[in-house]
Structure 1
Amino acid sequence: MSAHDPRITPANGHAAAHELRGVVEATRYVKGTVRTVQQPIVNLSDAPRGERASQLLFGEAFRVIDERDGFAFGQTLRDGYCGYVLAGALSRQEAATHWVAAPATHLYPKPRIKAPPEVAIFFGSQVRVTGDHGGFLRISTGHFVPATHLQPLRARFTDPVGVADMFLGTPYLWGGSSRWGIDCSGLVQQAMIACGRDCPRDSDQQQALGRELQPQEAARRGDLVFWAGHVGFMSDEQTLLHANAHHMAVAYEDFEQACARIASSSEAAGNGAGDVVMRRRP
């Protein structure tokens, strides 16, 4: 990717990251301040009050470069993606100890399953555990989370397709990154990161993952298939698993049927059109 791709360049004209001095023009250059997301989900937009480009989850780290009019501009530590979030959604940086490895989990006010939960957080969210209460773990907010829903920060899955399957039926949401709503590249990213693999946010960026498959190579589980503006996992030689605007959900689909459908129609939300442009094996 170009160093000046605005998606991964922490500069907005008012301020830029200090490492960009002499590379981009800005009024000032700053080291930035790392803060932590304190809401279940917060939109990352391309401009203040702009369109959603991605989402950050509870506990994620965000490097703030500039803050004005209630919005913070900066860069996610997850993937280097840049944009604007509501400043009120951020708090001081907090070191996490665990992450949510279930599609979603409730935050209980007491360590009892009948206690009315106050809110839910989603797969990939990061928390700091402060106590063990039997089947529940207390986190730094004072809430209790079922212990089976959390994994130590370094724990990872081994099968990205198996992770993506956990999102089956999740509503399609442009720029979405959670069980609440997710898009095609968000699904791939969440699945790859959960398996300990670095993965950029957008499908065109993901075309650099792994190696390109030759036309004669048969597909196997975990391969990525790309169209213009769309990506999905092969779950086996004949089956595609993807978040898509046709089903408006994460769904399995016969690969040949998906190819024919996508080739013959331009889907809503820019969600793929035309022929397959690349296959890659991460």
Structure 2
Amino acid sequence: MDRRLTPATERVALRGAGVARDVITDGERRRVAMPLVDLCRAPDGPRDRQMLFGADVLLIEARDGWGFVQAAADGYCGWVPLAALGDAGDVITHRVGAPATHVYPAPDFKQRETLSLSLGSRLAVTGVEGRFAKLAGGGFLPLQHLSDQPGDAAAIAVSLLGTPYLWGGNSRWGIDCSGLAQVALHGAGIACPGDSDLQRAAFPETATIRRGDLLFWPGHVALALDATTMIHATAFAMAVITEPIPDAIARIEAAGEGPFLGARRPRLDDRIGFP
């Protein structure tokens, strides 16, 4: 079983996971309460992915200040600091639709910000004061940075142009190739796994390339902006860039990083809950 998608530690397993462990649990619904948290392979171990503010998880095991969780959005499993998790009681109403935004203690942009949130962060809005949304947990966020409807995946990816490359990253502060693909598709309300190999396995092949398709190489994924141009987070530039597809195919193969593996088309009817 793929450890990334198996909701079990060596001691505890989620009920229905099909894994025998000493302890079987139904898990506890929690929500990420920090702007960004690493999803680690082991307590205080290497980062596999990241989760954003408002992400829902099931807490499967708590141990020495760390929690083993399964992300609700894509099923990815790993360890996060327990301090990063809060209650999951408030109803999510919006997402951050801008590349990044700030939360203020009052509906006044001249106040010192209390949080910085990335594109895709999920929010519970309880009211509006002037040009600001009031958040259930406290604080105010500019209305123009909110979204309550899915957008266009390619346009969402383009909004992150110039974002620094970060292995395992999922935010404006740093993102990798599969993180960019997932953030873009989730922003469009389309289900998408967290890593490029899982993404390639999840979607059907297509012989033609059109806007919104995913393009694959060994260990790498890009998103097509049209039939000849793509956007990707790449260590080649250490940033999110656009590139002509034929140029990228030639450059990547010349660097010995493998051949182009073709295009896959996300299923537009395979939706996630939005916001």
State how far apart, in whole Å, the 2-side matches of 1:116 and 1:246 are.
36
2:249 is aligned with 1:259: yes
**What secondary structure sits across from 2:189 in the alignment?**
coil
Q: 1:124 aligns to what?
A: 120
State how far apart, in whole Å, the 2-side matches of 1:130 and 1:259 are.
48
State how far apart, in whole Å, the 2-side matches of 1:198 and 1:213 are.
18
Q: 2:83 aligns to what?
A: 88
Contact 1:209 1:281 in 2 (8 A): no
Q: 1:33 aligns to what?
A: 28
State how far apart, in whole Å, the 1-side matches of 2:184 and 2:61 are.
31
State how far apart, in whole Å, the 1-side matches of 2:228 and 2:205 are.
18
2:170 is aligned with 1:177: yes
Note the residue ranges of structure 1 that are not aligned, 5 or more in a row. Answer: 267-272
- Out of 97, 105, 111, the position equivalent to 1:109 is 105
**What secondary structure sits across from 2:198 in the alignment?**
helix
State how far apart, in whole Å, the 1-side matches of 2:155 and 2:217 are.
22
State the Cα distance separating 1:224 from its structure 2 match.
1.3
Q: 2:134 aligns to what?
A: 138
State how far apart, in whole Å, the 2-side matches of 1:279 and 1:127 are.
33
Q: Indicate the RMSD between aligned Cα atoms, in angstroms.
A: 1.2
State how far apart, in whole Å, the 2-side matches of 1:141 and 1:105 are.
16
Q: TM-score, normalised by structure 1?
A: 0.91
**Identity in percent:** 45
2:92 is aligned with 1:99: no
After the TM superposition, which segments of 4 or more aligned residues of structure 1 sit over 3 Å from their partners?
none
2:55 is aligned with 1:71: no
- Out of 254, 259, 266, the position equivalent to 1:275 is 259
The letter of the residue matching 1:48 is: P
Contact 1:13 1:25 in 2 (8 A): no
Note the residue ranges of structure 2 that are not aligned, 5 or more in a row. Answer: 267-275
State the Cα distance separating 1:204 from its structure 2 match.
0.8
- Out of 41, 51, 55, the position equivalent to 1:60 is 55
Q: 2:270 aligns to what?
A: none
State the Cα distance separating 1:182 from its structure 2 match.
0.6
